[in-house]
């Protein structure tokens, strides 16, 4: 049973890495915030590091697995937004409009 849980966690980690890579590749650099790029890179690095720890045989703490579960839930909840194409530009253009109105601050 422990081996099954270990491989399920490794699979979840690798899915998070793949989803993060796919989302970064769909970003439009002119309309996306750099902070979101960093969020997805951080998620991929965290998930990949956790997968490596599990493969090597380190004991992974429960809160690391909760973090992976949270990232997996985030990927699942936002899947519809990213599945067909890149995220809608309405929010990005609206954000830019607000930025211009507020003198650079949103």
pLDDT tens-place string over residues 64-93: 889 998 998 988 888 777 766 555 554 555
Q: What is the reported pTM?
A: 0.70
In a domain, 70, yes or no: yes
Domain range enclosing 66:
2-101
Instruction: Give the total number of structural domains in the chain.
Output: 1
Q: Distance between alpha carbon 62 and the CA centroid of its chain, in Å?
A: 20
In a domain, 84, yes or no: yes
Q: What is the pLDDT of residue 56?
A: 93
Q: Which tokens belong to 101?
A: 């109105």
Look at residues 77, 13, 3, 19 and name the one whose alpha carbon lies nearest to residue 49. Answer: 13
Q: What is the pLDDT of residue 57?
A: 87
Q: What is the pLDDT of residues 20-71, one digit of tens each?
A: 888 888 777 777 778 888 888 999 999 999 999 999 988 888 888 899 989 9
In a domain, 106, yes or no: no
In a domain, 30, yes or no: yes
Q: How far apart are CA 94 and CA 3, in angstroms?
A: 48
Q: Which tokens belong to 67?
A: 């973090």
Beta strand residue intervals within 1-106, DSSP E: none
In a domain, 24, yes or no: yes
């Amino acid at each position: 049973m422990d081996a099954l849980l270990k491989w399920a966690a490794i699979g979840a980690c690798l899915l998070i890495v793949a989803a993060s890579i796919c989302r970064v590749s769909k970003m439009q650099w002119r309309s996306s915030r750099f902070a979101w790029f960093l969020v997805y890179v951080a998620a991929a690095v965290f998930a990949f590091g956790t997968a490596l720890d599990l493969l090597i045989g380190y004991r992974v703490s429960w809160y690391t697995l909760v973090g992976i579960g949270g990232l997996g839930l985030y990927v699942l909840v936002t899947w519809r937004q990213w599945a067909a194409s890149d995220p809608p530009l309405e929010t990005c253009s609206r954000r830019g409009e607000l930025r211009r109105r507020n003198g650079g601050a949103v």
